Amino acid sequence: MFGQMMNTPLLISSLLVHAEKAHSRGEIVSRNPEGGIHRYTYADAARRARKLANALSTLGVQPQDRVATLAWNTHRHYELYYAVSGSGAILHTLNPRLFPEQIVYILNHAENSVLFVDAQFLPLIEKLKDQLPLLRHIVVMTPADKLPASSLPLISYEALLDAADDQYQWPEFDENTAATLCYTSGTTGHPKGVLYSHRSTVIHAMAAMAKDALGIGNASALLPVVPMFHVNAWGVPYAATAAGAKLVLPGAGMDGASLYELIDAESVDLLLGVPTVWQGLLQYCDKEDLMLEPVCDVVIGGSAAPISMIKAFHEKHDAFVIHAWGMTELSPIGTVNCRTQAMLEMEDDERFRLQAKQGRPVFGVDIRIVDDQGNAKPHDGVAFGRLQVKGPWIASGYYKQEGGKEWQDGWFDTGDVATIDEQGYMAIVDRAKDVIKSGGEWISSIDVENIAVGHPAVAECAVVGVPHPKWDERPLLLVVTRPDATLTKEEMLAFLDGKIAKWWMPDDVLFVDSLPHTPTGKLLKRQLRDEYQGVYQ
Amino acid sequence: MFGQMMNTPLLISSLLVHAEKAHSRGEIVSRNPEGGIHRYTYADAARRARKLANALSTLGVQPQDRVATLAWNTHRHYELYYAVSGSGAILHTLNPRLFPEQIVYILNHAENSVLFVDAQFLPLIEKLKDQLPLLRHIVVMTPADKLPASSLPLISYEALLDAADDQYQWPEFDENTAATLCYTSGTTGHPKGVLYSHRSTVIHAMAAMAKDALGIGNASALLPVVPMFHVNAWGVPYAATAAGAKLVLPGAGMDGASLYELIDAESVDLLLGVPTVWQGLLQYCDKEDLMLEPVCDVVIGGSAAPISMIKAFHEKHDAFVIHAWGMTELSPIGTVNCRTQAMLEMEDDERFRLQAKQGRPVFGVDIRIVDDQGNAKPHDGVAFGRLQVKGPWIASGYYKQEGGKEWQDGWFDTGDVATIDEQGYMAIVDRAKDVIKSGGEWISSIDVENIAVGHPAVAECAVVGVPHPKWDERPLLLVVTRPDATLTKEEMLAFLDGKIAKWWMPDDVLFVDSLPHTPTGKLLKRQLRDEYQGVYQ
């Protein structure tokens, strides 16, 4: 027997319709790529999104067509979020930082015929256009009088909107309909597309609004520095809209000075972004002797927030770091390390250590850790296991790909190795491919690196698992010393002694001139494993 | 094209499974009907709920069977919330305050074969048992040694649990499956059943967790005085569980002294209930010269919170009243009057007036006002209209009833008349059947009553619409004066003059000895309209 409840679909358009009715005066402030600050309300945005929906139809966009964007966080990008998905097409946000050949692959794989682009990225598209046979329309997100000269036929975003009617009825359809598409690029193979549905996006937005998730309310003023091309800016443009929060969009200005200016001028109390961005902001504030007065909370995800950053926000800016963990395949929120009563009663150092964990699952996400055979491991805070997740906003496959080894028994395998404690706190230990398997036990390469790098003579280091005749694998420590420092193997090992388990101690330490990195700065451990595979044989 | 997201159903059992993993130390504290305070954790509750699910199977409960409860807010009632719905049966909560014949009607209409009952209500069931041919098992929610003597065969709740295994795998099924059933009783006809689904209940719980709805987090300590037999205690037992909040259940102790004791002992910061209960609590605090120290927020719904109550909580207890509006058919949350930035900058009196409105819709609920022909009326804060709603947790019909005049074009007609302003604030003006229709315009009987009752000589009053040869209806004011007071028609009208629109002025004032009420204390205006229908002819 079914309940007798309305069969109202969860649609992205309903978020903006709600904001227009209940939060008509809520503000969206954005730094324009063409200069200056743009400021309007949810009511204004809703009107322009309706115009844009009509304009998409003029451009020949059909339901379920993929409409591409290559743009920063701006009010125009925000309008595309609603107009494209709301009208039944699929918003496909592209990361301009990818290699040009990846951008070509993705645009062709998604069969994009319409692209919305910030003027800044136009030269890139001009260079690639010959390899994009399906692309019919290029809309530059700028007023008509700012349209750059180009070899390509261009449309001005503002001219397109000026010509469009502001009356539009958002269509109603199945909530499982595809809404947005975002590609994730690993270190190997082609980028893989994650295809979100209206249902997953709206449920994820509701989860994000919970007091203990992102805690977004109508009195919040929030600055998502996480780009709108990166997992829908963590879903913030949806949650902020449902809540009627003041949404501050930084445009291309993600340096410390630009961010500080916006935070100060707009009384931003909630920041969201990756550690790199905050490093820049903290350094700028130190240099200029400034305090982030209005900021209460800083949500940090994307990669692990170091304790030093958690501490700096607390001690210098009286701001609380909410550590979060997610992935493109998770829409992205998986776990959040929110304030608890217990935390507020802790000494600073104890709390910092707890805050450095990735947090507990938000309601909707189920997590577990398993061994290589898929057997569940205990949640005791000690046992390592492959982290697996399931829930209504987690991918069930990749766009236009069959099967996928990442899915087993209804769980998605994250490729991370983690611990989970009795209270549900998850801590990422390592990437599964980097964890060192020694005599049936697992060693975290990251944990050893984090301690080794604390030696004053060490500039950078890497720990990799190397084949070993007796133990399968044993750790090898590679060290780049500081230019003016000297360090011996014995000194290095003596420094580690007592700080890690005896059997975690690297069997050898090698000194190298440099370590290989990906273009985004990650260590290329695969290359190191290949290079040093023979050292213990 | 569908999104490629996991098809994870939204099930009530997942709330408790989540709490067991992420909030295992979160507390549920309840006042036992057999005396004393009971205290345990979500992990304990989850274990007992699994035992209870096994026990239900022992009693022969099948998926989709309706299992009845007649009980106060206790930890055992909480366990039933999860065990019954989670195992696939339907939790049917009964209001012990109904007339016995209504209870008989409801138990038979819902075909209940198993009843869980607090010992206090057993005499009622003993009296009615002969009229309940379908009832097979009566489980008294008490330990075996406290089982009362009875003419009926009784089962002890605790004995049932003691005999059950604590291993149980919550089944997975369609999220639209019926989960709970609650009857609503009007002033006419039989009570009508609202059948909630797992989907509607879980989405409603997520909406309730939002910062601007009930704002329930893991650090909250909340006391739902609203009974668990009344629209699932506003969904609080679900939202609190997902959030891992401290849940304080008052049992049968809803007098001021008992409530104060719990609030003080358990550091309750969030209260939820109807105005009558708070009247008792405020009076008790006044009498004993006590302050509700830990309380931050008081969510008031069920009927309108008077400004005097909003003011008393603010001035005497430094607590903020969050006015909310809902109905059984709405699961129940429709609108919430949360804190806003603007509100915090207002003078007290201005804010009190705004707080007295029923608030803005929470995301998920769409509201509108229409005239008698179903045409939408403007959201200008002035125009009156019938309040209609839609959304994923709003009833689409009544249990075992065909059609229903309450549903039109996908909207549920609430039977209330309201205004909605430009910012989305809704204010209930009157019940649709009580609003006075004069010359095509609507007059709020409640607004006139609220002013008239402010005259020091008036003990109670009622305003009803009476047929009129020229204006269709005109208002008639009926007054009961205080024992020692005198009042003339002219004095009464002079008092109203200038406080309401000229055309709202009652055409006549009649003095009566008393006014008729329902058993729950509501004015029986239908009877007054019948009695005085001839006065303007």
Cβ(B297)–Cβ(B306) below 8 Å: no
Cβ(B406)–Cβ(B397) below 8 Å: no
Please check whether residues B182 and B92 belong to one and the same domain: yes
Closest B-chain CA to A5: B395
Beta-carbon neighbour count of residue A149 at 10 Å? 6
Provide, as residue numbers in chain B, all residues whose Cβ is less than 8 Å from the Cβ of A360: 22
Q: Which of B176, B341, B379 sits opposite A219 (nearest CB)?
A: B341
Provide, as residue numbers in chain B, all residues whose Cβ is less than 8 Å from the Cβ of A17: 366
The rounded distance, in Å, linking the Cα atoms of B419 and B379 is 7
- A525 catalytic? Reply is no
Closest B-chain CA to A339: B219
Please check whether residues A93 and A188 belong to one and the same domain: yes
Tens-digit pLDDT string for chain A (537 aa) = 999 999 999 999 999 999 999 999 999 999 998 889 999 999 999 999 999 999 999 999 999 999 999 999 999 999 999 999 999 999 999 999 888 999 999 999 999 999 999 999 999 999 999 999 999 999 999 999 999 999 999 999 999 999 999 999 999 999 999 999 999 976 667 899 999 999 999 999 999 999 999 999 999 999 999 999 999 999 999 999 999 999 999 999 999 999 999 999 999 999 999 998 999 999 999 999 999 999 999 999 988 888 999 999 999 999 999 999 999 999 999 999 999 989 989 999 999 999 999 999 999 999 999 998 999 999 999 999 999 999 999 999 999 997 788 999 999 999 999 999 999 999 999 999 999 999 888 999 998 998 998 899 999 999 999 999 999 999 999 999 999 999 999 999 999 999 999 999 999 999 999 999 876 677 889 999 999 999 998
Q: Quick check: is B375 in a domain?
A: yes
Of B431, B446, B475, the domain-final residue:
B431
Of B410, B431, B452, the domain-final residue:
B431
CB distance B423–A195 less than 8 Å?
Answer: no
- A437 catalytic? Reply is yes
3-class SS letters over A387-454: EEEECCCCECCCCCCCCCCCEECCEEEEEEEEEECCCCCEEEEEECCCCEEECCEEECHHHHHHHHCC
DSSP assignment of B128-144 equals HGGG-TT--EEEESS-G
Residue tagged active-site, from B34, B41, B146, B184: B184
The answer to which of A87-101, A147-161, B24-38, B513-527 has the lowest mean pLDDT is B513-527
Our CA-based measurement puts residue A441 at a distance from the nearest CA of chain B, in whole angstroms, of: 25
The rounded distance, in Å, linking the Cα atoms of A216 and A209 is 5
Cβ(A210)–Cβ(B211) below 8 Å: yes
- Identify the residue among B62, B212, B220, B421 best suited for mutation to test binding to A, counting A beta carbons within 10 A and taking the highest: B212
Give the CA distances from residue A314 to residues A269, A274, A356, B258, in Å, rounded to whole numbers and listed in that order: 14, 17, 13, 41
Q: Quick check: is A457 in a domain?
A: yes
Cβ(A460)–Cβ(A424) below 8 Å: no
DSSP assignment of B83-103 equals HHHHTT-EEEE--TTS-HHHH
Please check whether residues A175 and A44 belong to one and the same domain: yes
Gyration radius of chain A's alpha carbons: 24
Q: Quick check: is A338 in a domain?
A: no
Closest A-chain CA to B63: A1
Please check whether residues B368 and B425 belong to one and the same domain: yes
For the cut 70, the answer to whether the pLDDT of residue B519 exceeds it is: no
Q: Quick check: is B476 in a domain?
A: yes
The pLDDT value given to residue A303: 86
Q: Which of B2, B177, B212 sits opposite A3 (nearest CB)?
A: B177
Please check whether residues A369 and A515 belong to one and the same domain: no
Please check whether residues B22 and B83 belong to one and the same domain: yes
Average confidence (pLDDT) over B41-48 = 98
Q: Quick check: is A31 in a domain?
A: yes
Cβ(B68)–Cβ(B94) below 8 Å: yes
Of B411, B431, B451, the domain-final residue:
B431
The rounded distance, in Å, linking the Cα atoms of A295 and A268 is 6
For the cut 80, the answer to whether the pLDDT of residue B188 exceeds it is: no
Provide, as residue numbers in chain A, all residues whose Cβ is less than 8 Å from the Cβ of B3: 176-179, 195-200
CB distance A412–B177 less than 8 Å?
Answer: no
Q: What confidence tens digit (pLDDT) does each residue in A391-414 have?
A: 999 999 999 997 788 999 999 999
The rounded distance, in Å, linking the Cα atoms of A385 and A368 is 8
- B411 catalytic? Reply is no
The rounded distance, in Å, linking the Cα atoms of B497 and B463 is 16
Q: Which of A90, A344, A363 sits opposite B242 (nearest CB)?
A: A363
Please check whether residues B379 and B526 belong to one and the same domain: no
Average confidence (pLDDT) over B262-273 = 98
Q: Quick check: is A317 in a domain?
A: no
Rounded to two decimals, the ipTM of the complex is 0.94
Q: How many domains does chain B have?
A: 3
Cβ-Cβ contacts under 8 Å between A and B: the total is 229
Q: Quick check: is A152 in a domain?
A: yes
Residue tagged active-site, from A329, A419, A471, A481: A329
Structure tokens at B177: 């499956």
Residue A74: domain span: 8-198
Which CATH number characterizes residue B56's domain?
3.40.50.12780
Residue tagged active-site, from A126, A129, A146, A184: A184
The rounded distance, in Å, linking the Cα atoms of A495 and A490 is 9
- B246 catalytic? Reply is no
Please check whether residues B395 and B488 belong to one and the same domain: no
Provide, as residue numbers in chain B, all residues whose Cβ is less than 8 Å from the Cβ of A397: 4
Q: Quick check: is A62 in a domain?
A: yes
For the cut 70, the answer to whether the pLDDT of residue B97 exceeds it is: yes
Please check whether residues A425 and A517 belong to one and the same domain: no
Structure tokens at B440: 């095509």
Which CATH number characterizes residue A379's domain?
2.30.38.10
Q: Which of B24, B360, B363 sits opposite A422 (nearest CB)?
A: B24
Residue tagged active-site, from B20, B158, B266, B329: B329
Closest C-alpha to B482, from B513, B503, B504, B441: B513
Closest A-chain CA to B363: A242
Please check whether residues A466 and A377 belong to one and the same domain: no
Q: Which of B410, B412, B422 sits opposite A24 (nearest CB)?
A: B422
Cβ(A157)–Cβ(A78) below 8 Å: no
Please check whether residues A380 and A407 belong to one and the same domain: yes
Please check whether residues B510 and B403 belong to one and the same domain: no
β-pairing, B178-184 vs B221-224, is unpaired
Which residues are CB-neighbours of B321 under 8 A, at least 6 positions away?
Answer: B297, B298, B300, B305, B309, B310, B313, B314, B355
Which CATH number characterizes residue B482's domain?
3.30.300.30
The rounded distance, in Å, linking the Cα atoms of B309 and A469 is 78
